[in-house]
């Protein structure tokens, strides 16, 4: 039945009309799309009514005189359409108040003969218009089949004569517009009229004809602000991530996505070190750095709930004009996301989009660790040094805290030999057998799996005259590289638009998201683990390795004392526990618009977010962590054969349940006034409103022991005794001196955050050329412990824009089709916020069994009455242009941001009670240039080539920083990232000279003398090595079209930053060049970099290597030399510039002939390969995206060279 | 017509609802919400609970440990000590901290001083408490403040000498809790001592005798502290009055709970192999951790403790000198807290009599019962009440060694008795940093002023490899460079 209805609809559409309700943002006229041949006027009017919602008023008898209508119209404005239709009719019409009145033509009002269009029989006359009915000059019109071709003239008209009767297609194309294909029939002796409306192409050059700042939509010409829109055709086809922001990489000048591990958690930037998403550089040190996300008008902290398939458009606001709209939360920039709407009066459209992205396993070999043979050889060399066993005795190795001591299998052989337990031949044979084993294949097979991302979205659009609906359901399955991890996401999104009456419209967006996750208990194994230790024996049985925690004799002793098995088998362990998470979030947004009087309307936006997340961590009794904890709270029997005393349950596991509940709401009411004078000389847009928000987060965690998942019961624990007195002589202690169990039974935190804001902005445009913008906003919040006076700091902006291209004297310059200058200036700021920035002393509750009642207060924040706003003055100058009839377009921006009173930990006078307090610690500037240039290189019938280039250059400088005393310690300086006079994320290095005859590194000091003394170096002896945040970045997208194929190549580049290499001796990650190099208990470490073999081994080697010698005694090494002189030396910093092919997308769109046969509207097939390094400046093979800038270490790359296949089908 | 009316109605009522919603958000109290788990102190009980702070109880006050003359260093461990601080302190270097490094012992004291100053300044205007409760809390804040100031003046001011105290530069007297304050001037040593005595004498009458937990400063604790301050000023008679009062009040501090019971432990029962603290000789190469933790340690009158010292757990560089070891009799159970072996090493130190303290990890620096008796014994000895001094000493000694050895000889002269008390202080507190404060006050004491002190470093083979004499100016610590940088014009100690 439904199918039938669908077919009828499709048939109607095919034969009679294809209708698209086109609501242009400026609220201008409705448009009509219609192909009719000798249709009755009544029928045509009916379809106009259906498409536009306009009513016709006429007497039925009047239409008897009407002539049949033949017309082909595409997106033609209603008025123009009606003019064409009534051109040859004995009738005329007028439009009043959405009603079209039809009456008989009065004599004398007959339209002038269309001489200009008159031609011989068998001709086509037509006009080409844009969506604002302006004539388009120079559009190419082709008649297919055949070779007839022409261009439109100044008034957008064209004519092609001498056409044989028959069916044809008109193919109308114009740079920057979607090519239109109009079917028509030419009859002998008849003029066929074609009026073609052209729509801007989505990826057109000046795609921003209107922009949405989340509050209002303005035409490009009427705003002075700096903003960019993403090319949604690229965003939609990037099937490598389900995060909308991640899909913007390289598309927006000034938006920097730093995927390096230190910065990469894009949703939760750590305030201190993360810089994953930055818009126009860093303007704060301690406040949040991420931009503000606005989804359908509601500010949100996180965009992971948004299905990229639902996104209609993304606008990034960058300057003060943005912040003064969105308030203090917007000083890092705003990303405005609006989602799709339903079609009014359209047929029901169903769309499917799906993809599978295959990412493979991480590149473990990227970490340059040794194989077994090399490793055993290196160990032989270590132990061969007589000093080794003196400095690293068996007794020392065999003792440790908490009963944990790891002696690796190869070490055991050496120690056994040294202790005379085995002879040299036996030891050698045992070592040889270890050297012959290679566990890398097992590591790769057992601890990793192929990662993939799969998404299916099905969406529906439709509507009636008064109602539109868009709905989508998405299922996302994420398989990461870790076996046992599960992640499924279900998203349901429905947007409904209602026209309640002529003056009232409303919408409701309901977005439900359910994340279901799971995890087992895999071990964290990489190639850093000892290369000979297998996980499975030849028979497939998993191998126990209790030596990872302690020696066999100690394991036996503790097992006897506690009566509890202390074996450790990593593979079996994997199934002994699990984590399950279920997170449900509902985002509900509603809005209403009420037209009050002419030009004035009321708008309300109401958002509500409710989130409930539950996570359970269960570790069974037989899991190692639970067994280990029980033993720590077990006292051995003092009598032989007696039973130990257990203070924790010995049956059942440990269950940790965490609940996170979130409830946010936003209420915004605003009045908007739009006025355009009759002559169009004056345009005014005013907006004023009030907004209130509340965010409540409640988290609680409970822990029970002795839990049985079958019976759902747990057992009691004596927290009072175990927390106060504790056990001083258990089998082994949990801390250095004793075993104590803090009260972890129940923990709860709750935070409420409220704001109320008033804002307004105004724009005035004169003659369509000169625009003045201004905005003002005041935010107040319930920032606890804040003085009210600290809150009253209005933020504002002012802007000017000049449509230079519209000036008369510019009109003759025919190669410039659009030119506008804009400037904004404004003040934005970060409110002192968070628990650390308060005007009053804040106490936080604490519990301690040391005090009566068990409760007390800690001083969690010192009041600082002098704390003031962090404020940024931003200047933005920009130019937008379109040249060569639209073949070259783009924009250029320069900005200067001066931030003063940076909020951060500021040195206080130590006599005041603290050495550091949150205060206003300094100033910072950012300036930079952003450019976007798009070009249409080839625009042919079969072949087209477009390119877009984005570039952002940012220069950041800390101009003032209050510090207690100048940093003089070299070690402190090495880890300092903010220094007056330098860019943020600064790095410093020693001036390495070379090695001496002991293989010790020497450096040059500031006074030109050389030293290797560990204590001789001061901060002034270090040299600045640049910043690890890329200062230049952007992207280059090339799109090639060949008939039904489209190939897009998206490149991203990052330049002008430095990284520290993972040099040997840097830390235990690479190799410690002194002392024992074995793993710590419980860690899968112990291997060393291959570069260990290239170290200094004997005098003379200093001529050929820079890698210091290995010294068996850690003490001797630290007293004699500092390995950091080499590892953190200037030679180990490298230019991290790189260019990556982020993705290559190949699209194939099925031809119409096939579509008609399979009864679909469009089918697009996608094939994507991602992340190919095209060029990198460093010679070490390091991928800067997978390098921890602070630690200087590598991370095994994931998701490189991934492949996606996807399809988009529209019904 | 009808439709129009309805539309208008919907319009009006819809608008009214929306306006109401927005007006609600405009209400003044919309932003006035009290967050959970966080408080701005207002109620009297808020100020009461501010004393229940683990940071007041446990701290990092270990600076005096390497300074005492009972300490020697063993080279193979000493030169590899992780931080230069240990070496510099032990060598009596002028500069202990590099530029930019803060002295934790000063910051710790200033951190809690801020809390006490805040309570003292605000509690009387708090809400909900009785006048008596407020006064008791004010008194407690003053007594606690005196405790911190006593530490600070003994770190950064010269030892109290009545002749020069009025001109000796001391430490700023800080009474305001304000982190934006930037101007501080050093008060004289005399002014600081006067301030400490004033705070304590004002506090004692209002302080409760019965305490709620030993983490809180009660009357007995404040009396012990004032007694100690007087001893450090050489005012033994005034000191004895306070200590007598403390001994009396101690009986009423409360014994209802494990948090308040006060009593001496008998080491003959607790600190022997198989004893109640689980002591075993197996700890010789590791450390002993069986002593009750601070909150339930009954010898504490007011608990202030160094949380964990690596010197008594895993570090082996600082050991007790053979001369100090010789002061113990063989039945002295306090020796069970020492080992002849370095940490995790099975062979003894190469120097006979060198002993590593191997527990407990924490160091008591609050007011304790042993200290109360030892201070009173010294006062009695100074005031020539030798019988009284002997009695006080034996109260403690009988709990530490065999009854036979515990007896103090009756033949001692006054000076010998004073020396005996000082040696008993050493035996009770060896390697715990207490000796340093005694060395300071004795330097201003005519009886002992001529004493000189030298630190000795022994090589890996047990031979003396270096000596570091203590110069008089190093009895006083220097302020760190950042303190001086932030207080232009402030004179650092030489």
pLDDT digits (tens, 9 = 90+) for A1141-1161: 988 989 999 888 888 888 888
Mean pLDDT throughout A53-66? 73
pLDDT score of A259? 65
pLDDT tens by residue, B301-316: 999 998 888 888 888 8
Residues of chain A neighbouring B361 (CB-CB closer than 8 A):
736-737
List own/partner pairs for B337-342 with CB under 8 A and 24 or more apart.
Answer: B337/B271, B337/B288, B338/B430, B339/B283, B339/B284, B339/B285, B340/B284, B341/B284, B341/B285, B342/B74, B342/B77, B342/B285, B342/B316
- The residues near A1012 (Cβ < 8 Å, ≥ 6 apart) are A996, A1000, A1001, A1002, A1003, A1120, A1121, A1122, A1125
Residue B116 sits in a domain whose CATH number is: 1.25.40.390
**Is B457 a member of any domain?**
no
pLDDT confidence bin for A509, thresholds 50/70/90:
very high
Q: What is the pLDDT of residues A915-947, one digit of tens each?
A: 888 788 889 999 999 998 989 898 887 898 989
**Cβ contact B287–A724 (<8 Å):** no
DSSP letter for each residue of B432-479: TTHHHHHHHHHHTSTTTTT---EEEEE-TTS-EEEEEE--GGGGSPPP
Contact A399 B344 (CB under 8 A): yes
CB of B366 closer than 8 Å to CB of B305: yes
CA distance to A3, A61, A934, B276, per residue, from A947 (Å): 42, 57, 6, 83
Q: Pick the residue with more confidence: A1085 or A84?
A: A1085
Q: Which residue has the higher pLDDT, B479 or A321?
A: B479
Tell me whether residues A913 and B111 touch, CB distance under 8 A. yes
Residue of A nearest to B307 (CA): A737
Do B55 and B151 sit in the same domain of this protein?
yes
User: What is the C-alpha separation between A1156 and B208, in angstroms, rounded?
Assistant: 95
Cα gap B461→B348, rounded to integer Å: 11
CB contact under 8 A, B37 and A1015: no
State the pLDDT at residue B374. 97
Pairing of strands B300-302, B367-368: antiparallel
In a domain, B69, yes or no: no
Q: Are B56 and B115 within 8 A, CB to CB?
A: yes
Residue A205: what pLDDT?
Answer: 36
Q: What is the structure's pLDDT at A904?
A: 77
Whether residue B26 and residue A667 make contact (CB cut-off 8 A), yes or no, is no
Distance CA B476, CA B92 (A): 10
B431 vs A98: which has the higher pLDDT:
B431
B480 within some domain: no
A621 min Cα distance to partner chain B (Å): 29
For residue A690, list chain B residues with Cβ-Cβ distance below 8 A. 22, 25-26
Look at B110 and A912 and tell me if their CB atoms are within 8 Å. Answer: yes
Give the model confidence (pLDDT) of A477-494 as tens digits.
999 899 999 999 999 999
Mutation pick from B11, B27, B38, B41 vs chain A, by most beta carbons of A within 10 Å, is: B38
For residues B214 and B185, membership in a common domain is answered with: no
B299 and B175 within one domain: no
Q: What is the mean pLDDT of chain A?
A: 83
| Same domain? B199 vs B235 | no
What is the reported pLDDT for A119?
Answer: 38
- B482 occurs within a structural domain: no
Band the pLDDT of A531: cuts 50, 70, 90: very high
Domain stops at, among B177, B207, B237: B207
Residue of B nearest to A973 (CA): B100
Q: Which residues of A touch B21 (CB under 8 A)?
A: 606, 667, 669
User: Which residues contact residue A808 at a Cβ distance below 8 angstroms, ignoring those fewer than 6 apart?
Assistant: none
End-to-end CA distance of chain A: 17
Per-residue model confidence (pLDDT) at position A869: 77
Q: Which residue of A has its CA nearest to B20?
A: A669
pLDDT of residue A220: 64
What was the pLDDT predicted at A48? Answer: 78
Closest by CA to A995, choosing from A1093, A1098, A902, A849, is A1098
Residue A3 has pLDDT above 50, yes or no: no
Q: Tell me whether residues A846 and B54 touch, CB distance under 8 A.
A: yes
Same domain, B230 and B243: yes
Structural domain containing residue B281: 209-450
User: Is A504 in contact with B10 (Cβ distance < 8 A)?
Assistant: yes
Partner-chain residue, chosen from A725, A840, A848, that has the shortest CB–CB distance to B40: A840
CB-nearest to B100 from A504, A737, A967 is: A967
Residues of A in contact with B314 (CB under 8 A): 736
Dihedral angle of Cα B246, B250, B251, B257, to the nearest 10 degrees: 170
Which pLDDT does position A599 carry in this prediction? 86
Mean pLDDT value across residues A845-858? 84
Question: Between residues A997 and A302, which one has the greater pLDDT?
Answer: A997
Q: Which of B95, B180, B285, B288 is the best substitution to test chain A (most A C-beta atoms within 10 A)?
A: B180
CA distance B338 to chain A (A): 16
Q: What is the pLDDT of residue A268?
A: 39
Q: How far is it, in rounded angstroms, from Cα A951 to Cα A962?
A: 34
Q: Do B289 and A1118 touch (CB under 8 A)?
A: no
Pair (B242, B351) in one structural domain: yes
Q: What pLDDT, on the 0 to 100 scale, is given for residue A319? A: 78
If one counts every other C-beta atom within 10 angstroms of the C-beta of residue A94, the result is 11
What is the Cα–Cα distance from A635 to A727, expressed in whole angstroms? 8
Within this chain, do residues B296 and B375 fall inside the same structural domain, yes or no?
yes
Tokens of B185: 């001037």
User: Closest partner residue to B486 among A858, A866, A907, by Cβ?
Assistant: A907
CB contact under 8 A, B31 and A780: yes
- The per-residue pLDDT for A1077 is 83
Order of strands, sheet of A99-104, starting from the edge strand that comes earlier in the sequence: A55-57, A99-104, A91-96
Is A907 close to B172, i.e. CB distance below 8 A?
no
pLDDT at A7 (0 to 100): 46
* B190 and B310 part of one domain: no
User: If you ran DSSP here, which 8-state letter would residue B241 be given?
Assistant: H
Q: How far apart are CA B124 and CA B136, in angstroms?
A: 10
Identify the CA nearest to A318 among candidates A802, A897, A1029: A897
Q: Where are the alpha helices (DSSP H) in B27-130?
A: 44-50, 54-57, 75-78, 84-90, 104-122
Q: Which residue of A has its CA nearest to B40?
A: A842
Size of interface A-B (CB pairs under 8 A): 270
Q: Average the pLDDT over A178-200 and give the result.
A: 76
Report CB contact under 8 Å: A602, B15.
yes
Identify all chain A residues contacting B32, using CB atoms and an 8 Å cutoff: 782
> Above 70 in pLDDT, residue A67?
yes
Chain B residues whose beta carbon lies within 8 Å of the beta carbon of residue A909: 181-182, 184, 486-487
pLDDT of A10 higher than 50: no
Distance in Å, alpha carbon of B289 to nearest chain A alpha carbon: 5
A911/B107 CB distance under 8 A: no
Compute how many other C-beta atoms are within 10 angstroms of the C-beta atom of residue A427: 20
Overall number of domains in chain B: 2
Residues B146 and B220 in one domain: no
Give yes or no for residue A211 having a pLDDT over 90.
no
Structure tokens that stand for B48 in this block: 């009461």
How many other C-beta atoms can be found within 10 angstroms of the C-beta atom of residue A301?
16
For chain A, the residue count is 1211
Chain B environment of A868 (Cβ under 8 Å):
none
Nearest Cβ partner for A857 among B7, B11, B46? B46
Cβ separation A910–B482 shorter than 8 A = yes
Number of Cβ within 10 Å of residue A423's Cβ equals 11
Q: Do A843 and B41 touch (CB under 8 A)?
A: yes
Say how far residue A786 (Cα) sits from the centre of its chain.
33
Using the predicted structure, report yes or no on whether residue A1015 has a pLDDT greater than 80: no
Choose the closest CB to A728 out of B10, B182, B289. Answer: B289
> What would the mean pLDDT of A260-287 be, rounded to a whole number?
56
**Under an 8 A CB cutoff, do B52 and A848 touch?**
yes
Distances (CA, A) of A224 to A208, A227, A681, A801: 13, 9, 18, 5
Q: What is the mean pLDDT of residues A696-716?
A: 94
Query: What are the C-alpha distances in Å from B153 to residues A1205, B159, B367, B475?
Result: 75, 8, 18, 12
Residue B120 lies in a domain: yes
Q: Are residues B326 and B379 in the same domain?
A: yes
Most A-contacting residue of B100, B107, B210 (CB-CB within 10 A), to test interface: B100
Query: Is residue B200 in a domain?
Result: yes
Residues in A touching B41 (Cβ below 8 Å): 841, 843, 857
The H or E element that residue A70 is part of is strand A69-77
CA–CA distance, A136 with A189 (Å, rounded to integer): 28
Q: Which among A907, A913, A966 has the least Cβ separation from residue B113?
A: A913
Burial string for B13-31 (b: 16+ CB within 10 Å, else e) reads ebbeebeeebeebeeeebb
- Residue B114 in any domain: the answer is yes
**Whether residue A622 has a cis bond before it, omega within 30° of 0:** no
Bridge-based pairing state of the strands A227-229 and B454-458 = unpaired
**Chain B residues within 8 A of A721 when measuring between CB atoms:** none
Q: Could B313 and A737 be called an inter-chain contact, meaning their C-beta atoms sit closer than 8 Å?
A: yes
- Residue where a domain stops, chosen among B207, B239, B264: B207
Q: Do B15 and A907 touch (CB under 8 A)?
A: no
Q: Choose the final residue of a domain: B153, B174, B207.
A: B207
Helix (H) or strand (E) holding A945: strand A943-961
**C-alpha to C-alpha distance for A1172 and A583, rounded to whole angstroms:** 35
Residue B23, token pair as written in the block: 């007006």
Across A668-676, average pLDDT = 89
Check whether residue B201 and residue B332 sit in a common domain. Answer: no
Q: What is the pLDDT along chain B (494 residues), one digit of tens a residue?
A: 444 554 555 455 555 555 545 555 556 677 777 777 778 899 999 999 999 998 898 888 999 999 999 999 998 788 765 567 888 999 999 989 877 788 999 999 999 999 999 999 999 999 999 999 999 999 999 999 999 999 999 999 999 999 999 999 999 999 999 888 888 999 999 999 999 999 999 999 999 999 999 999 999 999 999 999 999 999 999 999 999 999 999 988 877 788 889 999 999 999 998 888 888 887 788 888 888 888 889 999 999 998 888 888 888 889 999 999 999 999 999 999 999 998 878 789 999 999 999 888 889 999 999 999 999 999 999 999 999 999 999 999 999 999 999 999 999 999 999 999 999 999 999 999 999 999 999 999 999 989 999 999 998 888 998 999 999 999 999 999 888 888 889 999 99
Residues B204, A918: Cα–Cα separation, whole Å: 37
**Nearest chain B alpha carbon to A844:** B38
Residue A422: cis peptide before it, omega within 30 degrees of 0: no
Shortest CA distance from A967: residue in chain B: B100
Asked if B179's CB is within 8 angstroms of A863's CB, the reply is yes
User: Quick check: A472 and A492 in contact, CB under 8 A?
Assistant: yes
B205 to chain A, closest Cα gap in Å:
23
Query: For residue A788, how many other CB atoms are within 10 A of its CB?
Result: 10
Q: Which letter does DSSP use for residue A710 in this model?
A: T
The C-alpha of B238 sits at a distance from chain A's nearest C-alpha, in angstroms, of 31
B2 part of a folded domain: yes
Return the residue in A667, A782, A910 with the most chain B beta carbons within 10 A, the one to mutate for interface testing. Answer: A910
Same-domain pairing of B309 and B161: no
Residue A366 contacts by C-beta under 8 Å, 6 or more apart in sequence?
A: A1181, A1183, A1186, A1194, A1196, A1197
Using CB atoms, pick whichever of A399, A851, A910 lies closest to residue B215: A851
Helix axes of B236-250 and B219-233: crossing angle, nearest 10 degrees: 160
CA of A1191 to nearest chain B CA: how many angstroms apart?
A: 21
């Amino acid at each position: 039945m439904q199918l039938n209805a669908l077919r009828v609809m499709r048939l109607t559409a095919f034969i009679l009309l294809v209708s698209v309700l086109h609501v242009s943002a400026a609220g201008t006229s409705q448009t009509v799309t219609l192909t009719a041949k000798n249709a009755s006027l009544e029928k045509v009017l009916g379809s106009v009514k259906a498409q536009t919602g306009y009513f016709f008023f006429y007497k039925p008898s009047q239409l008897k005189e009407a002539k049949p209508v033949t017309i082909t119209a595409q997106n033609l404005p209603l008025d123009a359409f009606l003019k064409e239709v009534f051109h040859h009719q004995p009738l005329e019409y007028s439009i009043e108040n959405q009603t079209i009145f039809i009456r008989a033509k009065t004599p004398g009002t007959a339209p002038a003969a269309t001489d200009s269009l008159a031609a011989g029989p068998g001709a086509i006359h037509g006009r080409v218009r844009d969506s604002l009915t302006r004539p388009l000059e120079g559009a190419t019109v082709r008649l297919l089949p055949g070779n007839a071709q022409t261009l439109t003239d100044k008034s957008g008209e064209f004519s092609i004569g001498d056409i044989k009767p028959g069916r044809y297609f008109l193919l109308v194309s114009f740079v920057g517009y979607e090519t239109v294909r109009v079917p028509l029939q030419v009859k002998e002796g008849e003029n066929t009229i074609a009026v073609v409306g052209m729509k801007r192409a989505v990826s057109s050059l000046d795609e921003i004809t209107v922009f949405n700042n989340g509050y209002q939509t303005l035409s490009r010409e009427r705003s002075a602000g700096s903003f960019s829109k993403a090319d949604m055709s690229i965003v939609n086809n990037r099937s490598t991530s389900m995060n909308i922001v991640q899909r913007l990489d390289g598309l927006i000048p000034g938006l920097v996505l730093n995927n390096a591990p230190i910065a990469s958690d894009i949703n939760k930037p750590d305030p201190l070190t993360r810089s994953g998403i930055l818009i126009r550089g860093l303007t704060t040190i301690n406040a949040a750095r991420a931009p503000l996300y606005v989804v359908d008008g509601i500010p949100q902290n996180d965009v992971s709930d948004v299905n990229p398939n639902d996104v209609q458009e993304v606008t990034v606001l960058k300057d003060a004009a943005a912040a003064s709209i969105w308030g203090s939360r917007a000083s890092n920039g705003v990303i405005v996301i609006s989602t799709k709407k339903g079609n009014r009066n359209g047929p029901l459209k169903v769309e499917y989009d799906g993809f599978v992205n295959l990412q493979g396993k991480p590149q473990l070999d990227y970490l340059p660790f040794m194989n077994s043979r090399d490793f055993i050889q290196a160990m032989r060399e270590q132990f061969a040094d007589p000093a080794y066993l003196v400095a690293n005795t068996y007794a020392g190795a065999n003792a440790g805290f908490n009963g944990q001591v790891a002696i690796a299998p190869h070490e055991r052989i050496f120690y056994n030999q040294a202790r005379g337990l085995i002879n040299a031949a036996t030891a050698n044979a045992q070592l040889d057998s270890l050297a012959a084993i290679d566990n890398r294949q097992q590591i790769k097979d057992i601890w990793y799996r192929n990662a993939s991302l799969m998404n299916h979205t099905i969406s529906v659009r439709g509507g009636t005259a008064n109602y539109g609906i868009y709905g989508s359901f998405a299922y996302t399955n994420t398989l990461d590289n870790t076996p046992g991890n599960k992640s499924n996401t279900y998203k349901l999104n429905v947007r409904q638009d209602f026209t309640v009456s002529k003056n009232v419209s409303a919408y409701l967006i309901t977005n439900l998201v359910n994340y279901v996750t799971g995890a087992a208990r895999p071990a964290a194994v990489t190639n850093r683990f000892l290369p000979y230790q297998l996980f499975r024996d030849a028979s497939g049985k998993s191998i126990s390795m209790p030596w990872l925690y302690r020696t066999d004799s100690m394991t036996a002793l503790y097992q006897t004392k506690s009566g509890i098995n202390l074996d450790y088998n990593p593979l079996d362990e994997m199934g002994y526990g699990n984590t399950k998470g279920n997170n449900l979030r509902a985002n509900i947004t509603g809005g209403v618009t009420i037209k009050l009087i002419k030009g004035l309307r009321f708008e309300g936006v109401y958002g509500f977010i409710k989130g409930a997340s539950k996570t359970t961590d269960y570790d069974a009794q037989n899991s190692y962590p639970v067994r280990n904890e029980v033993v720590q709270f077990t006292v051995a029997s003092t009598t032989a054969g007696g039973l130990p005393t257990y203070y924790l349950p010995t049956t059942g596991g440990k269950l940790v349940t965490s609940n996170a509940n979130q409830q946010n709401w936003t209420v915004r009411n605003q009045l908007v006034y739009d006025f355009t004078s009759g002559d169009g000389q004056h345009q005014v847009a005013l907006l004023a409103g009030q907004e209130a928000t509340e965010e409540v987060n409640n988290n609680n965690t409970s822990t029970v022991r002795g839990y049985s998942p079958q019976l759902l019961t747990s057992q009691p624990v004596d927290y009072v005794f175990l927390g106060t007195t504790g056990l001083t002589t258990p089998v082994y202690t949990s801390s250095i001196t004793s075993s104590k169990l803090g009260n972890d039974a129940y923990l709860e935190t709750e935070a409420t955050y409220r704001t109320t804001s008033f804002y307004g902005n105004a724009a005035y445009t004169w003659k369509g050329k000169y625009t003045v913008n201004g905005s003002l906003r005041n935010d107040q919040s319930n920032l606890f412990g804040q003085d009210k006076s600290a809150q009253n700091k209005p933020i504002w902006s002012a802007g000017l824009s000049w449509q230079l291209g519209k000036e008369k004297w510019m009109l003759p310059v025919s190669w410039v089709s659009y030119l506008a200058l804009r400037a904004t200036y404004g003040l934005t700021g970060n409110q002192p916020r968070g628990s650390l920035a308060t005007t009053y002393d804040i106490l936080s509750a604490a519990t301690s069994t040391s005090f009566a009642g068990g409760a007390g207060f800690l001083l969690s924040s010192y009041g600082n009455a002098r704390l003031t706003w962090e404020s940024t003055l931003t200047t933005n100058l920009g130019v937008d242009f379109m040249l060569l009839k639209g073949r070259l377009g783009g924009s250029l921006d320069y900005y200067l941001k001066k931030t003063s009173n940076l909020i951060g930990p500021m040195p206080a006078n130590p006599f005041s009670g603290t050495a550091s307090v949150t205060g206003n610690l300094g100033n910072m500037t950012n300036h930079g240039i952003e450019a976007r240039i798009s070009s249409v290189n080839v625009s042919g019938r079969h072949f087209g080539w477009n390119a877009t280039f984005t570039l952002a250059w940012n220069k950041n400088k800390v101009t003032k920083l209050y510090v207690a005393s100048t940093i003089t310690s070299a070690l402190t300086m090495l880890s300092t990232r903010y220094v007056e006079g330098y860019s943020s994320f600064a790095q410093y290095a020693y001036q390495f000279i070379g090695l001496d005859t002991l293989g010790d590194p020497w450096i040059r000091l500031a006074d030109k003398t050389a030293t290797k003394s560990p204590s001789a170096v001061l901060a002034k002896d270090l040299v600045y090595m640049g910043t690890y945040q890329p200062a230049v970045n952007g992207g280059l997208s090339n799109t090639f079209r060949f008939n039904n194929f489209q190939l897009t190549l998206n490149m991203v580049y990052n330049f002008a930053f430095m990284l520290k290499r993972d040099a040997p001796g840097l830390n235990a990650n690479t190799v410690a060049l002194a002392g024992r190099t074995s793993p710590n208990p419980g860690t899968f470490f112990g291997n060393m970099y291959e570069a260990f073999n290239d170290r200094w081994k004997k005098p003379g080697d200093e001529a050929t290597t820079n890698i210091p010698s290995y010294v068996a005694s850690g003490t001797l090494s630290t007293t004699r030399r500092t390995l950091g002189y080499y590892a953190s030396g200037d030679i180990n910093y490298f230019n991290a510039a790189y260019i990556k092919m982020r993705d290559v997308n190949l699209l194939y769109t099925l031809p119409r002939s096939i579509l008609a046969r399979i009864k679909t509207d469009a089918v697009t097939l996608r094939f994507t390969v991602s992340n190919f390094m095209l060029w990198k400046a460093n010679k070490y093979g390091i991928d800067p995206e997978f390098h921890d800038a602070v630690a200087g270490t590598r991370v095994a790359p994931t998701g490189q060279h991934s492949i996606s296949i996807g399809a988009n089908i529209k019904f | 017509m009808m439709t129009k009316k309805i539309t208008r109605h919907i319009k009006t009522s819809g608008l009214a609802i929306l306006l109401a919603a927005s007006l609600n958000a405009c209400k003044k109290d919309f932003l006035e919400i009290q967050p959970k788990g966080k408080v701005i102190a207002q109620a009297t009980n808020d100020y009461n609970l501010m004393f229940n702070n683990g940071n007041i109880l446990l701290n990092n006050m270990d600076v005096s440990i390497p300074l005492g003359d009972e300490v020697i260093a063993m080279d193979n461990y000493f030169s590899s000590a992780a931080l230069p601080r240990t070496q510099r302190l032990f060598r009596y270097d002028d500069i202990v901290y590099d530029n930019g490094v803060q002295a934790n012992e000063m910051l710790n004291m200033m951190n809690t001083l801020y809390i006490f100053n805040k309570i003292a300044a605000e509690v009387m205007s708090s809400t909900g408490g009785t006048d008596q409760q407020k006064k008791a809390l004010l008194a407690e804040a003053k007594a606690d403040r005196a405790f911190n100031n006593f530490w600070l003046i003994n770190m950064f001011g010269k030892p109290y000498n009545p002749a020069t105290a009025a001109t000796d530069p001391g430490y700023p007297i800080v009474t305001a809790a304000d982190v934006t304050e930037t101007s501080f001037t050093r008060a004289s040593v005399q002014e600081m001592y006067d301030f400490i005595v004033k705070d304590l004498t004002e506090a004692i009458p209002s302080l409760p005798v019965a305490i709620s937990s030993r983490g809180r400063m009660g009357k007995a604790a404040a009396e012990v502290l004032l007694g100690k301050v007087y001893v450090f000023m050489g005012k033994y008679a005034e000191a004895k009055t306070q200590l007598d009062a403390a001994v009396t009040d101690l009986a009423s501090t409360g014994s209802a709970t494990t948090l308040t019971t006060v009593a001496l432990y008998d080491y003959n029962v607790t600190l022997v192999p198989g004893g109640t603290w689980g002591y075993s000789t197996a700890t010789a190469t590791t450390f002993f951790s069986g002593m009750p933790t601070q909150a339930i340690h009954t010898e504490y009158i007011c608990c202030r403790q160094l949380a964990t010292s690596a010197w008594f757990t895993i570090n082996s560089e600082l050991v007790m000198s053979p001369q100090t070891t010789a002061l113990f009799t063989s039945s002295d159970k306090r020796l069970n807290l020492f080992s002849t072996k370095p940490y995790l090493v099975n062979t003894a130190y190469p120097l006979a009599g060198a002993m590593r303290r191997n527990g407990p990890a924490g160091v008591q620096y609050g007011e304790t019962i042993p200290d109360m008796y030892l201070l009173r014994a010294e006062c009695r000895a100074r005031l020539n009440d030798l019988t009284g001094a002997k009695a006080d000493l034996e109260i403690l000694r009988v709990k530490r060694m065999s009854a036979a050895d515990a007896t103090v000889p009756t033949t001692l002269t006054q000076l010998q008795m004073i020396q005996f008390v000082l040696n008993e202080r050493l035996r009770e507190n060896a390697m715990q940093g207490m000796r340093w404060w005694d060395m300071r006050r004795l330097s201003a004491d005519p009886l002992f002023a001529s004493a000189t002190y030298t630190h000795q470093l022994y090589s890996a083979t047990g031979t003396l490899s270096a000596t570091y004499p203590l110069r008089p100016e190093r009895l006083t610590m220097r302020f760190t460079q950042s303190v001086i940088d932030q207080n232009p014009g402030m004179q650092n100690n030489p």
